[in-house]
Structure 1
Amino acid sequence: MFLIVQNDPNCPAGMLNQVLEEARVPYRTVCAFAGDPIPDPSGLTAAVVLGGEMGAHDTERHPHLARVIAFMREAVAAGLPLLGICLGGQLLSHACGGTVSSPSPHGEHGIHHVDLNAAGAADPLFAGVGNPFVTFQLHNDSFTTPPGATLLASSPACPAQTFRLPGRIYGVQFHPEVDRSIVDLWDGFFSPRAEHLSGFIAAEETFNAASRTILANFVSLSLSPAQP
């Protein structure tokens, strides 16, 4: 079973659901924020941990984060294919010994370009993706590459955009899952209202091409036999 862990009611899986359905991959969404139990990694084929407005260290205000961190540590130890998106990537970095800065000088909002380094350009997560590629960003916090991980991508404002741990375990700072409805929802949480949606729509075609490819690549990797 492919698992989606949702940390925030306003941060759904968006395009990821479409990619899984098109690939005919059975999946289940666990609403960790609502207290749903998180399955043992041993019974899963892969997992994606989504974003949220909270910070990786906000376990007192959001106790479910402690359970998500524990799950991610178990998943890494078990070699489960895992993708952490934005907060999910920050939680993965934290769980594996990296540093999450909150707030960070590397925050980004809206459409931005991300640059692959040599390792990223050769990584199967980014097969068929241009360099640089278009992303949607909405983060005030940022992560470092944890010990034992390989940095794959960066942006002018944020030096750590993607890392890979041994196996098929990735953390990304950007949001490949968002669509118009999600960006519109998030704009409404700013006062005054943010205007990220117009920029998103202007870049939507190139954003969708890169983001769908990245998500589909992860799904394909998660279903392929583990490499020695």
Structure 2
Amino acid sequence: MPANRAAPSVLVVQNGPGGGPRRLGDWLRADGLAPDVVHAYRGEALPATLDGHDALVVLGGGAMPDDVARMPWLAGARLLAAEALERAVPYLGICLGGQLLAQVGGGRVEAEHGRPEAGSVTLTLRAETHADRLFAGLPERPTAIERHVDAITELPAGAAWLARSERCPYQAFRCGEAAWGLQFHPEVDAARLRTWDPGYLRSLGYEPERVVERAERDEAGAVVVWRELARRFARVMRGG
């Protein structure tokens, strides 16, 4: 990148103290991008528009995507997501951020729906990934970190359904040409799971030690897959 050209800016909405961009932010920086993290949970204000930013990333959080009583800033995040869809600004939504994209696009999300997922989970990529700029050619059954009880129950009309898991059908999808929603957490590494509340995991029906063990076993393969996905998102930002 020429020295006189600013790095493409990625607006990142952080919804909770433990939900930062983590290694995703590192990967985007390594690819020459500039993450601009707004710590919305601290009261930092979201911009009114995406002017000045080349992409939008909305991270996870412990609320439904329209729960503005618990997270008032989600009203602004929804407006930004709608703008990204309208203007074809690249968007990446993770967990809550993916559910937000589904809602804004006209789909449906339900609280405490289906069976919860926590820890490393095997995904199955669908045939629609063959023509997708982020997922094409990735392994057909990658693993990814999950932590959710709410779920997307209906995709927006016309969305490309990209991945599923045994417990949760809508693990990844795309709206239009440049907006992706993920139910899983590519930014979370196995070490992070050691900090998760074991009581909470047991309440979901999981044995904490086994959750950590599987995540550590799957880590090497998972990091290769999701690092590549981040690289491709950076490429989309540059018009590739």
With normalisation by structure 1, the TM-score equals 0.91
How many angstroms apart in 2 are the aligned matches of 1:57 and 1:168?
Answer: 22
How many angstroms apart in 2 are the aligned matches of 1:65 and 1:123?
Answer: 28
Distance change in 2, residues 1:191/1:98 (3 Å): closer
Match of 1:105, SS state, is coil
Contact 1:41/1:78 (CA < 8 Å) preserved in 2? no
What letter corresponds to residue 19 of structure 2 in structure 1?
C
How many angstroms apart in 2 are the aligned matches of 1:206 and 1:130?
Answer: 10
Which structure 2 residue ranges, 5 or more long, are not aligned? 1-8
Contact 2:118/2:147 (CA < 8 Å) preserved in 1? yes
2:38 equivalent to 1:30: yes
How many angstroms apart in 2 are the aligned matches of 1:160 and 1:117?
Answer: 11
Tell me what 2:3 maps to.
none
Moved more, 96-105 or 64-73: 64-73
What letter corresponds to residue 197 of structure 1 in structure 2?
V
Match of 2:232, SS state, is helix
Larger Rg: 2
Tell me what 2:12 maps to.
4
Contact 1:126/1:213 (CA < 8 Å) preserved in 2? no
Counterpart selection for 2:168 from 158, 168, 174: 158
Tell me what 2:112 maps to.
103
Counterpart selection for 2:75 from 58, 66, 83: 66
Distance change in 2, residues 1:96/1:65 (3 Å): same
Q: Extract structure 1 runs of 4+ deviating beyond 4 A.
A: none
Which structure 1 residue ranges, 5 or more long, are not aligned? none
Task: Kindly report which structure 2 residues correspond to 1:1-228, keeping only aligned pairs within 5 A, or say none.
Answer: 1-39=9-47, 40-143=49-152, 144-187=154-197, 190=200, 194-195=208-209, 196-224=211-239
Contact 1:127/1:217 (CA < 8 Å) preserved in 2? no
How many angstroms apart in 2 are the aligned matches of 1:201 and 1:191?
Answer: 17
Match of 1:114, SS state, is strand
Number of aligned positions between the proteins: 225
Q: What displacement does 1:6 show?
A: 0.6
Q: In percent, how many aligned pairs have the same letter?
A: 34
- Superimposed CA distance per residue, residues 3-42 of structure 1 (whole angstroms, 9 cap, x where no aligned partner): 1111111111111111112112122101122222222213
With normalisation by structure 2, the TM-score equals 0.87
